[in-house]
């Protein structure tokens, strides 16, 4: 009696799998997912939404300024918020500073025992440069042209950088406005930066420090609100 029941269940499973796959191989379609395509699609969506956000922010700013002309409370709130825009990275700045360029190795060593992971810029390398520049007195900073604010996170996947919802490939340019000599000294004193310089000398990675008389740092134009986890009621 068990044989007909098992055969019936097997037939049902085959029918469900055929309908779900629409005639394709389920295992192949999952294992060969186009991850770079998914990343590019997500990046395009983020760019579209950021453009919409910028337009909404401009409209809110215009409406707030109009309301402040006839409402003292709105005017006071607007004035208080304006004082926080520059420290929050919401205004563009111009001044002297420093640019640090990190790049992957330009060629593959002839030694086959070399770990390929040693030939690319890692998250820890970028973070070491960023921390050193802040410690050296940086007033404002960009990575790959993106403004860095207190809530920005430097994340790398492979040899690509994820920052402010966008994906960037090397070389990575870290630009900071501030005093050149203290920032350069902080780079020299950083253990993490020193490790990268040693790797650059040995594996052929790129590490360049440039003194700039005039730098333009754009304002941050992304979302600034913070999202927190919430406990759902049982």
How far does CA 206 lie from the centroid of its chain? 20
Between helix 35-68 and helix 72-85 the angle, nearest 10°, is: 140
Task: Give residue-wise pLDDT tens across range 33-76.
Answer: 566 677 677 767 777 877 777 778 678 778 777 777 777 776 67
Structure pTM? Answer: 0.67
158/76 Cα distance (integer angstroms): 48
| pLDDT cut 70: percent of the chain above it | 77
* Confidence band for 27, pLDDT divided at 50, 70 and 90: very low
Q: What is the mean pLDDT of residues 105-112?
A: 77
68/233 Cα distance (integer angstroms): 41
Inter-residue contact 139 to 178 (CB < 8 Å): yes
Can you give the pLDDT at residue 224?
A: 75
Winning range, highest mean pLDDT, from 50-64, 72-86, 163-177: 163-177
């Amino acid at each position: 009696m068990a044989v007909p029941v098992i055969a019936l269940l097997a037939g049902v499973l085959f029918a469900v799998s055929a309908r779900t796959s629409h005639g394709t191989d389920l295992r192949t379609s999952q294992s060969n997912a186009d991850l770079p395509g998914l990343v590019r699609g997500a990046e395009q969506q983020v760019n579209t939404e950021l453009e919409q956000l910028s337009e909404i922010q401009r409209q809110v700013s215009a409406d707030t300024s109009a309301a402040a002309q006839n409402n003292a409370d709105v005017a006071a709130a607007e004035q208080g918020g304006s004082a926080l825009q520059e420290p929050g990275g919401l205004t563009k700045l111009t001044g002297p500073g420093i640019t640090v360029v990190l790049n992957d190795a330009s060629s593959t060593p002839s030694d086959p025992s070399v770990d390929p992971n040693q030939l690319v810029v890692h998250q820890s390398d970028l973070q070491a440069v960023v921390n050193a520049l802040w410690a050296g007195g940086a007033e404002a900073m960009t990575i790959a042209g993106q403004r860095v604010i207190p809530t920005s996170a430097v994340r790398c996947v492979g040899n690509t950088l994820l920052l402010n919802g966008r994906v960037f490939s090397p070389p990575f340019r870290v630009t900071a406005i501030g005093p050149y000599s203290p920032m350069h000294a902080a780079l020299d004193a950083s253990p993490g930066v020193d490790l990268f310089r040693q790797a650059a000398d040995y594996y052929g990675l790129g590490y360049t420090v440039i003194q700039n008389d005039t730098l333009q740092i754009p304002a941050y134009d992304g979302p600034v609100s913070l999202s927190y986890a919430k406990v759902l009621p049982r």
